Chain A
């Protein structure tokens, strides 16, 4: 498929952007950051085009469906969401070096999707359980949430590494990313639950995937409440990294280590 070939190139293109952002960070050159940004924008356009192309390709195969149906496609969209939210960070909050910390997550996600021997990039027909309009709403909300948490984790690492006393903006942005992720995770769990009801008759069955998404929700709900208690800066950064570990377990760990309703994803 052409789309998966484009995505393989996109993967390395993001790596190149990461390298330029790192150069900009280490050698304090503005030009590195600018090149990094240009590469990221160009790659993001190709990335978006590849997702749309994949949709078209599935229709040409006669099994047309939105490209959110298997593990490969979810990783591709996860990376896409990370880049989208990264732009928000870089533009709205003018954080020049954010790319060095957020883009690696997109690169790793795509590299895993494109080059892991265990992950098939084939376009597969939708099994009956996935033939629902809820699929699109559920996947988009969940992965925008996951993407925001990935960006927040990157910003948290940046916060911990940055040797400066003026990190208030970074902290504020990190907090807003967490809020954003929390909103979308909530919507993701809600759509999943309502979908589960229309597919299986039960909106909550304590299936491992459901339970871990709830655990992740608890973790970020705790962050929002300790923030109310005055925690900020380093503590929130550490907490956010912990929250992202929970996201990773919900996303990958459950699929590989625990069985359940989402097992058809692999």
Chain B
């Protein structure tokens, strides 16, 4: 069953390859293939470490899956080939049919295939005693205005009044197909001209270059971003309410913009967009007490995390290396590197709750951690996404295109006036390229109105 009036390409001599690229069967095949592959991609975890796959599937299966590119399926060559074929299929199919459809949509003059109409005028007939010209005059106000301009075609003693609507709707399907191609272009634009990467920045940190994923190369932003403050807010229930990074953009050493980055409220500067993605805590400074071994007097000392602090009395320096929340079930501890003035180095663990550690023979005091002060770091996604404009365009075109394709139709409605003896027979009929039920309903309505109308 073919839809009525379906525009099919003229059966000229065509290359077999062109023909198969233009076929709906290829479209169906590709859609099935894409659907099945996508399912496979959700069943096999993607982009995990080889060890995970070997543990889960065994080495042989892992090698097989890997050689079929099933472990990074959506970016594999064969999946991309499927997408390319779909795009080609749509383009070829469109160019193949559009020429023919164009002639229907933009005809040089309004046309009605009278022979077809007269052969099958329809089943709804009315008989009047008056002659055709009187009937026509009475019909005009009822018929006009319903579907646009009323046209008139006369052959012999028969007059056809007809209206046409929705020719443009025939283009809807090509708009949908175009939108798929636009999504395809979006994908290409993203993978060629875009990137997305994540960075963790402690409060106070400045970033000028971000790492590009899967490379050793950094991307120079062309400006600097400084994180002034990170704030996490929570509801009384403990659920997160807001994550916010206050930032400053610095160009040529001068702050040019103060702003904030929140989830769903990214910040874009010079084509680079920053998204709030995560956050965490990190040790900022380690507060120590230096306890005199003989008097027991204490002296506080702050050691910035990862940095050195100078010990009093020129006894060397202390560098913090590592903070552990719980070491050997004795609570928090910090690993430090002690460097004597002579250059000798000692590695030592200092605890918060255990004074037996943190002792060094040569020093007159022992160490005790009083507090590990934490700061926030903010996790930002940094992205350049040239594809998004195409996504917007494709989305709008696709939704509009689908609506036009399926909810609008190209219709003709006619009334055939034939002289029968002294009187006139009027037959109502119509033709549509889709939604036959809708047309029938419309014809029923019209028929009813004509029956009710007072025409002699």
Contact = CB atoms under 8 A, between A and B. Distances in A.
B395 interface: yes
A232 B383 contact: no
B123 interface: no
Contacts of B407: 179
Contact of A131 (B264, B381, B382, B395): B264
A129 interface: yes
A211 B235 CA distance: 32
B221 to A, nearest CB: 15
A198 interface: yes
A193 B391 CA distance: 8
Contacts of A204: 187
Contacts of B34: 218
A217 B41 CA distance: 16
A203 B390 CA distance: 11
Given A131-B264, A228-B3, A183 B239 contact: no
Contacts of A232: 1
Contact of B35 (A127, A131, A183, A219): A219
Contact of B398 (A172, A186, A214, A225): A186
Q: A183, A197, A201, A230 — which one has the most chain B CB atoms within 10 A of its CB? A: A201
Nearest to A259: B45
A49 interface: no
Contacts of B28: 222, 225-226, 229
Given A128-B243, A183-B399, A194-B395, A199 B388 contact: no
Given A63-B235, A203-B387, A222-B35, A194 B74 contact: no
Contacts of A203: 186, 190, 385, 387-388, 391
Contacts of B402: 179, 182-183, 186
Contacts of A212: 42
Given A124-B239, A125-B239, A183 B264 contact: no
A200 B381 contact: yes
B39 A215 contact: yes
A214 B41 CA distance: 12
Nearest to B383: A201
Contacts of B3: 228
Contacts of B186: 203
A29 interface: no
A221 interface: yes
B169 to A, nearest CB: 14
Interface in B16-48: 24-25, 27-28, 31-32, 34-35, 38-39, 41-42, 46
A212 B74 CA distance: 13
Given A169-B437, A208-B42, A201 B273 contact: yes
Contacts of A208: 42
Interface residues of B, number: 55
B395 to A, nearest CB: 4
A258 interface: yes
A199 B35 contact: no
A27 interface: no
Contact of B403 (A132, A183, A206, A221): A183
Contacts of B74: 206, 211
A204 B383 CA distance: 13
B239 A202 contact: no
B262 A201 contact: no
Given A179-B406, A186-B402, A197-B388, A172 B437 contact: yes
Contacts of A206: 41, 46, 74
B241 interface: yes
B387 A229 contact: no
A211 B196 CA distance: 20
Interface in A206-242: 206, 208, 211-212, 214-215, 218-219, 221-222, 225-226, 228-230, 232
A66 interface: no
A131 B239 CA distance: 13
A105 B35 CA distance: 26
Contacts of A127: 239-241
B266 interface: yes
A132 B395 contact: no
A211 B34 CA distance: 11
A6 interface: no
Contacts of A179: 402, 406-407
Interface in A76-135: 124-125, 127-129, 131-132
B301 interface: no
Contacts of B224: none
B436 to A, nearest CB: 8
A215 B35 contact: yes
A102 to B, nearest CB: 19
Contacts of A183: 399, 402-403, 406
Interface in A52-88: 63
B324 to A, nearest CB: 29
Nearest to A221: B31
Given A128-B243, A193-B395, A203-B391, A229 B24 contact: yes
Nearest to B237: A125
Given A187-B399, A190-B398, A229-B28, A129 B391 contact: no
Contacts of B377: none
A169 to B, nearest CB: 7
A193 B388 CA distance: 9
A225 B235 CA distance: 49
Contacts of B273: 201
A194 B24 contact: no
A156 to B, nearest CB: 18
Given A127-B240, A201-B273, A203-B190, 8 more contacts: A128-B240, A131-B242, A131-B263, A183-B403, A194-B388, A199-B275, A203-B186, A203-B391
24 contacts: A125-B237, A128-B262, A129-B263, A131-B263, A172-B437, A176-B435, A183-B402, A183-B403, A186-B398, A193-B391, A193-B395, A200-B275, A201-B277, A202-B196, A203-B186, A208-B42, A211-B42, A215-B35, A218-B34, A218-B35, A222-B31, A222-B32, A222-B35, A230-B2
Interface of B: 1-3, 24-25, 27-28, 31-32, 34-35, 38-39, 41-42, 46, 74, 186-187, 190, 196, 235, 237, 239-243, 262-264, 266, 273, 275-277, 381-383, 385, 387-388, 391-392, 394-395, 398-399, 402-403, 406-407, 435-437
